Amino acid sequence: VDQSLWVQALSFLAADEGDHTEEIREVLRHVEESSLMPLLMVIEALQKNPRITVGDVRPYLQSQFRKLAESVESSRGKASESVETSRAKAWQDRQEIARMQQEIVSLRTQAQVFQNTKCSQCSLTLEVPAVHFFCGHSYHSYCVPSDGGCPKCSSEALSRITLKEQREAQARNTEDFFKELQGSSGEGGIQAIGEWCMFGAFDAGREERTE
C-alpha cells in the first residue's frame, strides 16, 4: 500500500464537511504508526474542518504530546551527560597542569641525580659525552636533535602547552561561545555547550566572580 495515500485521505476527510470522525481516527492511527506527517502538519490539515474537535482526535494528540515529552527528557539527559563528561575532562586537564607545575618546582628546588646507563633513544650504553635532561632521560650527544630538546618529552610537552593555551584563550572569549550557541540547534547546541565546558568557559566566569 502506498503510504502517501493515508496523507491524501486525511486531507480529503478533513476538507469534507461530513462527519468522518471514525475514519479520521483510523487514518491518524496509520499516519502515526508510519510517521507519515509531523504533528504541526496534521493540525493544519484538521483545522480545515470546523466540525472536528479536540475530543475527536484526542488519542492521537495525547500520543504525540507524550512522545514530545519523552524526546525532551531524552535531550535533557544527553545534555547533562555531555556537560558532566566535559567537566570531567576539564578537571583531568587541571590535574595534569597542577602535576606539571609541581614537577617544575621540584626541579628548581631539589638536586637531580642522573643514574641512567643506557641512552633513552637508541638503548645503547651511554658514553661520554652524554646529555642528561631534568625529565630523567639521558642520551648520547648524537642522539639529541638539533633543537636541543628531549626527544621523548619535547613533542608531548609542546602539545600540552598548546592545548592549555587554546583552552584558556577560548574560555575567556565568551562572545564566540554565544555566537556558536545561537547558530546551533537541538543536539548541536548541546554539543557546543559540552565542548565549551571542556574548555573551562563556565569555570573561568565562576572564578572571576569569587575573586
Cα gap 205→208, rounded to integer Å? 5
pTM: 0.34
Residue 150's pLDDT band, with cuts at 50, 70 and 90, is: confident
Classify each residue of 86-122 as buried b or exposed e, where b means 16 or more C-beta atoms within 10 Å of its C-beta. bbebbeebeeebeeeeeeeeeeeeeeeeeeeeebbbe
Q: Please give the mean pLDDT across all residues of the chain.
A: 75
Least confident of 109-113, 152-156, 177-181: 177-181
Q: Are 160 and 148 in contact (CB under 8 A)?
A: no
Cα gap 64→58, rounded to integer Å? 10
